[in-house]
Amino acid sequence: MTVRSRPTSPHLQIYRWTITMAMSIAHRATGIANYVGSALLVLWLAAAAIGPEPLNVVNAIYGSWFGQLVLFAYSWSLFHHMLGGLRHFVWDFIEMMEPGQREALAWANLVASIALTLLVWTVFVWVH
């Protein structure tokens, strides 16, 4: 009996990267990031419930340049994940499934998440 080589599954070196692949990975990553960001929100709420001293400490951390960067990334993550969910909701109705439409919707997801994040942070900085 001769042993035949088994077929191999396609892998990332064979596939050409597309925007829909990247947005799929980003959707999963933002879902994970939202857990971390939600824990930061719970920490802030717990500090507020405990008293003014713990709240001042958390506010100082979140108000630092690194804290602001993390909060900015968290807000982008929320918008990106939400819009990715809406993109999948559209696809559940078998709409926008043609190749050009899929890519356009994925690009719209990315552009809109960045635009919404910048809009919210611009309003936040302007009002604050």
pLDDT at 106 exceeding the cut of 90: yes
Rounded to two decimals, the pTM is 0.84
Secondary structure of the chain in HEC code, one letter for each residue: CCCCCCCCCCCCCCCCCCHHHHHHHHHHHHHHHHHHHHHHHHHHHHHHHHCHHHHHHHHHHHHCHHHHHHHHHHHHHHHHHHHHHHHHHHHHCCCCCCHHHHHHHHHHHHHHHHHHHHHHHHHHHHHC
The 10s digit of each residue's pLDDT in 16-49 is: 788 999 999 999 999 999 999 999 999 999 999 9
The 10s digit of each residue's pLDDT in 63-104 is: 999 999 999 999 999 999 999 999 999 999 999 999 899 999
